[in-house]
């Protein structure tokens, strides 16, 4: 990895082709995600938040601009190389949890390790440890439908962190939870951010949720309109990522 940046985006744009017409979703975003950061991305629907998350998470490739994930330029990477990069660097948490319904909490958490080629025993050991970290040791054998929403999201967080990624990307992680449960999940994320040193970036509509983050990025019309700044400096050289509030 180069320097302190877990993810580095320089003038990144993404345009979707709809019926032959190019629809810009992201119009040139420069952004650095430093290790150990805690960032919230806010903005109205259609502002490009999700597109940004997909790009930063290595699920998609930018139409133009430079994007480095875990120190690696994604330009020209094959889908298989992108998959490897995601597995090594990124953990995902989704609004709707995205757990495999017929699979136990333990095996759900162990799933990303399957694609690392680890032995079943090692996968289970690491998954069990991670479930313990999120406070679900007593739910190891439960299936998602036997768990509450908050528990399901905690399983998903354990799954995102079992690979020890540099960055955890959370798309509306509290969107499907009631306020108290949502708060508990946020506290867990904050605690893991501090304890494990994993950079957390979450997308949210909720101003209160965003307000808990040390760094807040506001998006509109495919652009960053405000960024309260990062602790560390990125190599982008843009003024908007220099100062921490």
Residues forming contacts to other proteins in the complex (CB under 8 A) are: 54, 57, 59-60, 79-80, 83-84, 86-88, 92, 94, 98, 100, 102, 111-112, 114-117, 120, 159, 163
Q: In angstroms, what is the minimal distance from the CB of 230 to other proteins?
A: 25
Output the smallest distance, CB 156 to other proteins, in A. Answer: 10
Q: To the nearest 10°, report the CA torsion of 119, 121, 126, 129.
A: 180
Minimum separation from the CB atom of position 243 to other proteins (A): 33
| Structure token pair of residue 135 | 């406070």
β-strand partners of 90 = 167
* Closer Cβ to other proteins, 123 or 215, answer by number: 123
Distances (CA, A) of 74 to 22, 37, 62, 65, 200: 22, 22, 9, 11, 21
Nearer to other proteins, 160 or 186 (CB): 160
CB of 114 to other proteins, least distance (A): 6
Alpha-carbon span 47 to 218, nearest angstrom:
9
Q: Which CB sits closer to other proteins, 4 or 171?
A: 171
**Position of tokens 């760094």?**
215
Choice between 58 and 234, CB closer to other proteins: 58
| CA neighbor of 29 nearest in space, from 73, 77, 74, 64 | 64
By beta-carbon proximity to other proteins, the closer residue of 76 and 117 is 117
CB of 182 to other proteins, least distance (A): 21
CB 129 within 8 A of CB 176: no
State which residue, 115 or 239, has the beta carbon closest to other proteins: 115
Least Å distance, CB 15 to other proteins, is 14
Question: What is the residue-wise DSSP string for 13-64?
Answer: EEEEEETTEEEEEEEEEEEEEETT-EEEEE--TTSSHHHHHHHHTTSS--SE
Structure tokens at 8: 């580095």
């Amino acid at each position: 990895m180069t320097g302190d940046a877990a993810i580095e985006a320089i003038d990144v744009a993404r345009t979707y082709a709809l019926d032959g017409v190019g629809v810009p979703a992201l119009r040139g975003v420069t952004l650095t995600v430093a290790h150990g950061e805690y960032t919230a991305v806010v903005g109205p629907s259609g502002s490009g938040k999700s597109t940004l998350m997909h790009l930063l998470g290595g699920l998609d490739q930018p139409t133009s601009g430079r994007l480095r994930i875990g120190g690696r330029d994604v330009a020209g990477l094959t889908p298989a190389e992108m998959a490897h990069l995601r597995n090594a660097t990124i953990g995902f948490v989704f609004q709707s949890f995205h757990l495999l319904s017929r699979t136990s909490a333990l095996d759900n958490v162990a799933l990303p390790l399957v694609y690392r080629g680890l032995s079943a025993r090692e996968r289970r050991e690491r998954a069990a440890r991670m479930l313990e970290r999120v406070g679900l040791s007593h739910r190891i054998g439960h299936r998602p439908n036997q768990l509450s929403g908050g528990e399901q999201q905690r399983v998903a967080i354990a799954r995102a962190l079992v690979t020890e990624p540099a960055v955890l990307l959370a798309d509306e992680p509290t969107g499907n939870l009631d306020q108290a449960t949502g708060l508990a999940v946020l506290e867990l994320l904050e605690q893991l951010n501090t304890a494990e040193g994993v950079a957390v970036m979450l997308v949210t509509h909720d101003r209160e949720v965003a307000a808990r983050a040390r760094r807040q990025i506001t998006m509109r019309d495919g652009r960053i309109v405000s960024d309260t700044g990062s602790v560390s400096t990125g190599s982008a050289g843009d003024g908007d990522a220099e100062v921490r509030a």
